[in-house]
Structure 1
Amino acid sequence: MKLGLASMKGITYGLICFITIIALLIVMFIAISYGAKSLTLETVWTAVFHYNPEVTTHQIIHELRLPRVLGAAIIGAGFAVAGALMQGITRNPLADSGILGINAGAAFMVALSFAFFPNLPYSSLILVSFLGAVLSAGFIFLLSASTPGGLTPLRLTIAGSVVAALLHSLSSGIAIYFNLSQDLAFWYAGGVAGVKWQNLKLLVPVILLTIAGAVMISRSVSLIALGEEVSTNLGVKTDRIRLVGIGLAIILAGVGVSAVGSIGFVGLVIPHIARKIVGVDYRFSIPLSALLGAMLLVLADLGARMVHPPKEFAISLMIALVGVPFFLYLARKERRSL
């Protein structure tokens, strides 16, 4: 009977993932089709699968739209998995790389790089962004753990918000002093328009390998989410898993911010939706979070282009329209449970 239930659950989960993948592919195809220049679906299909570099419409799709949409998908998946890891490891339903200040740390280091090393190559910029994410995460966890009562979800959220506000202020000061307002506007607003094939060659393997690492520790994350005592009694090395999980989340957040700017709320909203669909087992919710996160960022980019063409809205604004009310709802729900 148990084997039958497990088999049914596996079939249901497989069907959910299959439907989500199909929906993601359809959304990506629509996003590739839409732009300043109107193109038929037949032209888009031919350009994607039978690329001819001598055809102008094929060049538009292959060099501009395709890397943009692929970048949105892979980075959205990374942000969502980072949020899922942080929510499970910290047992904090409000955890997200943006809310906890990790994105702000990565963006702050990008601002410093623009000010003092303006010609830094993209690969080095990713490392610098990652360093900023590590430093801000370390400071946030140290700050929240040093208060009386130790590390709690509420203290972690407050510490992250304070550090994020500080780092955003410092980034703004650097932008004003070094006249970088135009250069950093992209990083504040967020966007995938600047993602090119050479960026994807670095982004795709790093993010996919990190997500694979997250899937490998997903069983342990599920046990940690049940509580410290339960996970310890079941043989989980909680300190090691927390360190690995936070490290993976920092990599995903740092790489994502370096590519598309400081985009928040993807890692907050998507893991909750995934857990509503497949339950609290992170072996199922982490892969589904990746798929749903990819879809959300592709849709946000598409929406940003459709609001007032040919001008584009900031992706962060489009996501905030969903993320802010969702965050307030979760915060109110969390306060009631205290």
Structure 2
Amino acid sequence: MRSTVGDRQAVIIALWIVLTIATIILSVRYGTETIRYRTMWDALFHFDPENMEHLIIQTSRFPRAIGAFLIGAFLAVSGALMQGMTRNYLASPSIMGVSDGSVFAITLCMILMPGVSSMALISYSLMGSALGAAIVYGTARLLPGGSSPLTLAILGTIIGTFLGGISQALATYYQVSQNISFWYNARLHQMDPTLIKLSIPFAIVGIGLAIVLARSITGLSLGEETATGLGMNVVVIKGLAMLSVAILTGISVAIAGKVAFVGLIIPHITRFLIGQDYRKIIPYAAMLGALFLSWCDLISRFINHPFETPIGVVTALFGVPFFLYLIKTRGGEKE
């Protein structure tokens, strides 16, 4: 029996690797103009800085493919952690104000410190995501029934909208709207390769923390009383989990702006496929989230070809119906 499960997991991982390679190849190949496979090979292994197609691949297409892949994984893991530790099936970075907090912090950074370094930008984004989460969950604790899924979702939406409104008002007043429009509306085709490289150490910490906490998150998903009975320090576990969420969401927003619904959809699909054990949910959510956002990015290139459709439109096509389905079928009760 154990070998059968192991064989099944090996097949899934092998299939995921094949799909990942195929997805990255297609992402590099297709866009406003289709690039030949031979040119792609030469750009990666025999780079010619005088060749325009090689430059496009190295500075735009390949970073975009890798960035979409990583961001999808980060947001999916963030959503899984949030849903598990709060037992809230509507929890996700984009709904609970975490992403909006990052955008708010980046806006302040651009106003107060124009020309700031990439590392400082990532740092401010991380602090902003933590601020957004703290405001939402702190406010929820002050309200009667504030911990219910629908109340938290509404509260997160309100606070997120408020932070977004302040950000845009400040950007307009200080005339930096054009500089920060990238972070308001995610544009994967404008990702900075330097930001992607700088985010890797933070990503390792965030993902590593999520994996270490996976067993404890499984306990929390059964209820705080059960987790306490198992000898878990609920406050510490939640604090570390939110730190992981803040890190992964913060670097995602810093790299590509606010991307919605990935952290809402993917954890549910993952639990449906592999069960309730977060030791499996965390890695599998990362795998599915990476492929999901990568394919959304591919779809965005063909909806109105040769023009780009914003990635948020594509994720919303999947996310909004899924969100409404959850509310209709699950109501306002916790898991």
Short-chain TM bin:
over 0.9
Question: Is 1:127 equivalent to 2:123 in the alignment?
Answer: yes
Q: 1:101 aligns with which of 97, 100, 103?
A: 97
CA distance in 2, matches of 1:260, 1:47: 24
1:228, 1:258 → 2: CA distance? 33
What is the rounded CA distance, in whole Å, between the counterparts of 1:144 and 1:207 in structure 2?
A: 28
Residue 326 (str. 1) matches residue 322 (str. 2): yes
How far apart, in 1, do the equivalents of 2:92 and 2:19 lie?
25
Aligned partner of 2:184 in structure 1 is 188
Q: CA deviation at 1:315?
A: 0.9
Ranges in structure 1 where 5+ consecutive residues have no aligned partner: none
C-alpha displacement of 1:53: 4.0
Matches within 5 A, 1:60-139: 60-139=56-135
Cα deviation code 1:182-211 (max 9, x no counterpart)? 223222210222223322221223213311
> 1-side partners of 2:106 and 2:145: how far apart?
34
CA distances 1:79-103 after superposition (whole Å, capped 9, x unpaired):
1100010000111110000000110
Matches within 5 A, 1:169-184: 169-184=165-180
Distance in 2 (CA, whole Å) between partners of 1:335 and 1:258 is: 34
AA aligned to 1:179 is: Q
- Structure 2: where are the runs of 5+ without partners? none
Q: Deviations over 1:14-49 (max 9, x none)?
A: 322321222122111101111233222232234334
Does structure 2 retain, via aligned residues, the 8 Å contact 1:75–1:207?
Answer: no
The 2-side partners of 1:157 and 1:14 are apart by: 37
Name the structure 2 match of 1:316: 312
Give the Cα–Cα distance (whole angstroms) in 1 for the partners of residues 43 and 264 of structure 2.
35
1:166 is aligned to: 162
1:19 to 11, 15, 27: 15
Structure 1 CA distance, aligned partners of 2:45 and 2:325?
44
- Partners of 1:7 and 1:227 in 2: CA distance: 32
Q: Name the aligned partner's letter for residue 36 of structure 1.
A: T
- Mapped to 1, the partners of 2:270 and 2:146 lie a distance apart of 29
Rounded to whole Å, the distance in 2 between the matches of 1:8 and 1:219 is: 23
| 1:150 Cα offset (Å) | 5.7
Does the Cα contact within 8 Å between 2:260 and 2:316 map onto a contact in 1? yes
Q: Percent identity?
A: 37
Aligned residue runs from structure 1 range 251-270, under 5 A? 251-270=247-266
Conservation of the 8 A alpha-carbon contact between 2:195 and 2:254? no
- Contact 2:85/2:238 (<8 A) preserved: yes
Give the number of aligned pairs. Answer: 334
User: Does the 8 A contact of 2:149 with 2:333 survive in 1?
Assistant: no
Q: How many Å apart are 1:50 and its aligned residue?
A: 4.4
1:24 maps to amino acid: T
Structure 1 partner of 2:149 = 153
> 1:240 maps to which residue?
236
**Partner amino acid, structure 2, of 1:295:** L
Aligned to 1:43: 39
Cross-structure match for 2:195? 199
Aligned with 2:282 (options 286, 304, 308): 286
